[in-house]
Chains A and B, each alone.
Chain A
Amino acid sequence: MRYLISPWTLARRGILGINQRNRQYIARYNPRSLFPLVDNKLKTRETLADAGIPMANLIGVVETQSQVARAADLVAHTSGFAIKPAKGSGGKGILVVTQRDGDEFIKASGARVSRADLTRHVANIQSGLYSLAGAADVALIEDLIRPTSHFDGFTVEGVPDIRVIVCRGYPVMAMVRLSTHASDGKANLHQGAVGVGLNMATGKAISAVQHGRSLTHHPDSGKCLADLEIPDWQRLLELAAQCYDVTGLGYLGIDIVIDRDRGPLLLELNARPGLAIQLANDTGLLPRLRQLDALTGAALRRSAEVRTRYSQEWFA
Chain B
Amino acid sequence: MTRAGINFWALIVGLLVVGIALILHRHWVYEVPLIHGETQTVWSVEARVEFMADDGPVKVSMARPSDQPGFTLLRQSGASPGYGLNFTEGNDPRAVWAIRHASGRQQLYYQTDLLESTFNAAEEVAPPKLFRPDWQEPYRTAVDSIFADAYAASADHYSLARELIKRVNEVDAPQHVLLLRRAYAGRLPYLLAEMLNHANIAASVVFGLELRDGRRRQQLTPLLRVWDGDDSQVFSVASENGDVPMMLWEQRGAPVLDVIGGYDSRIRFSMLRREESTYSALNDSLPVQQSLLNFSIHSLPVEEQAMFKSILLLPVGALVVCLLRIVIGIRTSGTFMPVLIAIAFMQTSLGTGIVGFILVVGTGLLVRSYLSRLNLLLVARISAVIMTVIAIISVFSVLSYKLGLTEGLKIMFFPMIILAWTIERMSILWEEEGGREVMIQGGGSLLTAVLAYGAMQHPLVQHLTFNFMGVQFVILALILLLGSYTGYRLFELHRFAVLKR
Cβ contact within 8 Å between B496 and A214 = no
Q: A6-B493, A134-B378 are in contact. Are A1 and B488 (CB under 8 A)?
A: no
Count of interface residues, chain B, beta-carbon cutoff 8 Å: 22
Chain A residues with Cβ below 8 Å from B492 are 10, 15, 17-18
Please tell me if the beta carbons of B375 and A7 are within 8 angstroms of each other in the complex. Answer: no
Cβ contacts A1-16/B at 8 Å (1 or 0 each):
1111111011101010
Asked if B495 and A7 sit within 8 Å, CB to CB, the answer is no
Contact of B488 among A19, A90, A213 (CB under 8 A): A19
| Chain A residues with CB below 8 A from B499, complex form | 5, 9-10, 13, 15, 278-279, 282
B500 at the interface (CB under 8 A from A): yes
20 contacts between A and B (CB under 8 A): A1-B498, A2-B497, A2-B500, A3-B497, A4-B493, A5-B496, A7-B493, A10-B488, A10-B496, A15-B499, A17-B488, A17-B492, A18-B329, A124-B375, A129-B375, A133-B378, A212-B495, A214-B498, A278-B496, A279-B498
Instruction: Return chain A residues, CB-CB under 8 Å to B486.
Output: 17, 19-20, 23-24
**B459-501, CB under 8 A of A: which get 1 and which 0?**
0000000000000000000000000111111001111111110
A19-B487, A127-B377, A209-B498 as given contacts; A5 in contact with B329, CB under 8 Å: no
- Which B residues from 119 to 144 make CB contacts under 8 A with A? none
Interface membership of A150, Cβ < 8 A: no
User: With contacts A9-B499, A17-B492, A212-B495 known, what are 19 further pairs, Cβ within 8 A?
Assistant: A1-B497, A2-B497, A2-B500, A4-B493, A6-B493, A10-B488, A10-B499, A13-B499, A15-B488, A17-B486, A18-B492, A19-B486, A23-B484, A92-B432, A128-B378, A129-B375, A212-B498, A278-B496, A279-B498
Chain B residue numbers with a CB within 8 Å of A17 are 486-489, 492
Kindly provide the distance from the CB of A119 to the nearest chain B CB, expressed in whole angstroms: 13
Is B498 within 8 A of A15, CB to CB?
no
Docked pose: A17 CA to B499 CA in angstroms: 13
- Chain B positions near chain A (C-beta within 8 angstroms): 326, 329, 375, 377-378, 428, 432, 484-489, 492-500
Residues of A within 8 Å of B378, CB to CB, are: 128, 133-134
CB distance from B7 to the nearest CB of A (A): 16
Q: How far is the CB of A269 from chain B (nearest CB, A)?
A: 21
B489 cross-chain contacts in A, Cβ below 8 A: 17-19
Q: Please give me the 3 A-B residue pairs with the lowest Cβ-Cβ distance, nearest first.
A: A20-B486, A134-B378, A17-B488
User: Which residues of chain B come closer than 8 Å to A4, judged between CB atoms?
Assistant: 493-494, 497
Q: Which chain B residue has the least Cβ–Cβ distance from A283?
A: B499
Contact residues of A between 1 and 56, Cβ < 8 Å to B: 1-7, 9-11, 13, 15, 17-20, 23-24
Number of A-B contacts (CB under 8 A): 74
* Chain B neighbourhood of A23, CB < 8 A: 484, 486
Q: Which residues of B contact A10 (CB under 8 A)?
A: 488, 492-493, 496, 499
| Max chain A Cβ within 10 angstroms of own Cβ: one of B432, B494, B498 | B498
Contact present for B497 and A19 (CB under 8 Å): no
List the B residue with the shortest CB-CB distance to A279: B498
Smallest CB-CB separation from A131: which chain B residue? B378
**Residues of chain A lying within 8 A (CB to CB) of residue B495:** 212
- Category for how many chain A residues contact B: 20 to 34
A282 to chain B: which residues have CB within 8 Å?
499
> Which residues in A have their C-beta under 8 angstroms from that of B326?
19
Q: How far is the CA of A124 from the CA of B431 in the complex (A)?
A: 15
Q: Are B487 and A7 in contact (CB under 8 A)?
A: yes
Q: Which residues of B contact A2 (CB under 8 A)?
A: 497, 500
* Distance of A92 Cα from B428 Cα, bound (Å): 12
Alpha-carbon distance A278/B495, docked complex (angstroms): 11
CB of A300, distance to nearest CB on chain B (Å)? 19
Contact A279 B497 (CB under 8 A): no
Q: Which B residues are CB-close (under 8 A) to A9?
A: 499-500
A18–B496 alpha-carbon span in the complex (Å) = 12
Q: How far is the CA of A10 from the CA of B428 in the complex (A)?
A: 34
Q: How far is the CB of A249 from chain B (nearest CB, A)?
A: 20
Contact of B493 among A5, A128, A213 (CB under 8 A): A5
Provide the bound-state CA to CA distance between A90 and B428, in Å.
14
The docked-state distance in angstroms from the alpha carbon of A23 to that of B5 is 13
Contacts of A278 in B (CB 8 A): 496, 499
Report chain B residues within 8 Å CB of A5: 493-494, 496-497, 499-500
Tell me the nearest residue of chain A to B482, going by C-beta.
A19
* Chain B: minimal CB distance from A294 (Å): 14
CB distance from B47 to the nearest CB of A (A): 49
CA distance A15 to B487 in the complex (A): 10
A 154-178 binary contact with B (CB < 8 Å = 1; else 0): 0000000000000000000000000
Q: Which residue of B lies closest to A284 (CB)?
A: B499
Contact bitstring A66-102, B, C-beta under 8 A = 1, else 0: 0000000000000000000000001010000000000
List the A residue with the shortest CB-CB distance to B329: A18
Q: How far is the CB of A15 from chain B (nearest CB, A)?
A: 6
Docked Cα-Cα span, A6 to B490, in Å, equals 10
Q: Tell me, in angstroms, the Cα distance from A2 to B500 when the chains sit together.
A: 8
- Of B375, B488, B494, the residue contacting A127 (CB under 8 A) is B375
Interface 1/0s, chain A 116-157, versus B by CB < 8 A? 000000001001110001100000000000000000000000
Contacts of A90 in B (CB 8 A): 432
Instruction: Give CA–CA (A209, B428) in the complex, Å.
Output: 28
Contacts of A11 in B (CB 8 A): 488
Residues of A within 8 A of B329 (CB): 18
Min distance, Cβ B190 to any Cβ of chain A, angstroms: 60
In whole angstroms, what is the CA distance A214 to B492 when docked? 17
Give 1 or 0 for each of A266-284: 1 = CB within 8 Å of chain B CB: 0000000000001100100
Closest to B483 in A: A23
Closest-CB distance, B428 to chain A (whole angstroms): 8
| Minimum CB–CB distance for A290 against chain B, Å | 13
* Min CB gap B441→A, angstroms: 14
A17, B495: Cα distance in complex, Å: 10
Q: Nearest Cβ distance between residue A24 and chain B, in whole angstroms?
A: 6
Taking CB atoms, residues of chain A closer than 8 Å to B485 are 19
Chain A residue nearest to B484 (CB atoms) is A23
* Nearest CB of A to B470, in Å: 28
Q: How far is the CB of A42 from chain B (nearest CB, A)?
A: 20
A182-233 contacts to B, CB under 8 A, are 209, 212-214
Q: How close is B2's CB to chain A, nearest CB, in angstroms?
A: 12
